[in-house]
């Protein structure tokens, strides 16, 4: 007797469909297959764009910027003085970055980034914004109750830590430079970049875990 004979039709249906990708992914795959079949899309081009968004147009670029600032005092100073110019000089992250201001977290200061009007965001170094960044609830509450918002992200600031909220616009984007964690002395830039998260560069995360970089 097969395994499926002991299960109801509903259970079998659920089990089979649990192995399928979500519906949006299926629609995208179907559209991609159709375009390839009609000769309107090349699979190598798709793979190249996926690699660009995964490796270049994403948080990894921002993480490399942060890591370099942690180990290179001259670059850090330039980054805080003129973020746009400093980032433009980096071959792998300098394209499509304009009007960038870098704000630094310290033991006594925490920075939080929001866009109250829409979802302005430094795509070139952080990739597409997360869904919650675009939601009206975050955009309004980050200004009205920033400590409450951070608390929901698991960030509980002591009363003596100043909190600044920065409102992005189409003409000015922000990048948070998080504090370098203790215990990372002697780490190279690649290892340091591995512990930098997207949320830490938005300000919805403060303390970075060493687990990933230490592995």
Q: Is the pLDDT of residue 140 over 90?
A: yes
Q: Higher-confidence residue: 57 or 209?
A: 209
Query: What's the whole-number mean pLDDT along residues 123-147?
Result: 93
Average pLDDT taken over every residue of the chain: 85
Whole-model pTM over 0.85: no
Active site residues: 115, 118-120
Q: What is the pLDDT of residues 17-42, one digit of tens each?
A: 555 556 666 777 787 788 888 888 78
pLDDT score for 214: 47
Confidence of residue 1 (pLDDT cuts 50, 70, 90): very low
* Angle of CA points 116, 118, 123, to nearest 5°: 110
Question: Tens digits of per-residue pLDDT, 149-165?
Answer: 999 999 999 999 999 99
Counting other chains too, the contacts that 22-28 makes at CB distance below 8 Å and 24 or more residues apart are none
User: How far is Cα 187 from Cα 194, in angstroms, rounded to an integer?
Assistant: 11
Statement: residue 116 has pLDDT above 50? yes
Side-chain-side CA neighbours of residue 212 (13 Å): 11
Which domains, and CATH codes, for the chain? 3-41 (no CATH), 61-214 (3.90.330.10)
Q: b/e per residue, 147-157, with b = 16+ CB within 10 A?
A: eebbeeeebeb
Identify which has the larger pLDDT, 12 or 142: 142
Give the whole-angstrom CA distance, residue 29 versus residue 189: 37
β-strand 100-104 against 162-167: which pairing, if any? unpaired
pLDDT in tens, 161-188: 999 999 999 889 999 999 999 999 999 9
């Amino acid at each position: 007797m097969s395994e499926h004979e002991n299960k109801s039709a509903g259970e079998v249906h659920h089990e089979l469909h649990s192995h399928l990708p979500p519906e949006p992914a299926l629609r995208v795959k179907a559209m991609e297959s159709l375009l390839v079949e009609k000769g309107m899309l090349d699979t190598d081009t798709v793979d190249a764009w996926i690699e660009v968004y995964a490796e270049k147009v994403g948080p990894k670029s921002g993480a490399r910027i942060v890591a370099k600032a942690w180990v290179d005092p001259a670059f850090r100073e330039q980054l805080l003085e003129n973020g746009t110019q400093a980032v433009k000089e980096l071959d792998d992250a300098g394209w499509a970055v304009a009007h960038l201001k870098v704000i630094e977290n310290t033991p006594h200061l925490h920075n939080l980034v929001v866009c109250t009007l829409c979802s302005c965001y430094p795509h070139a170094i952080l990739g597409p914004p997360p869904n919650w960044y675009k939601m009206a609830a975050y955009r309004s509450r980050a200004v009205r109750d920033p400590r409450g918002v951070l608390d929901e992200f698991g960030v509980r600031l002591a009363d003596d830590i100043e909190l600044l909220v920065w409102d992005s616009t189409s003409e000015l984007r922000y990048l948070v430079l998080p504090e370098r964690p203790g215990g990372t002395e002697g780490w190279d830039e690649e290892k340091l970049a591995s512990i930098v998260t997207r949320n830490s560069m938005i300000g919805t995360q403060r303390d970075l875990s060493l687990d990933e970089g230490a592995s």
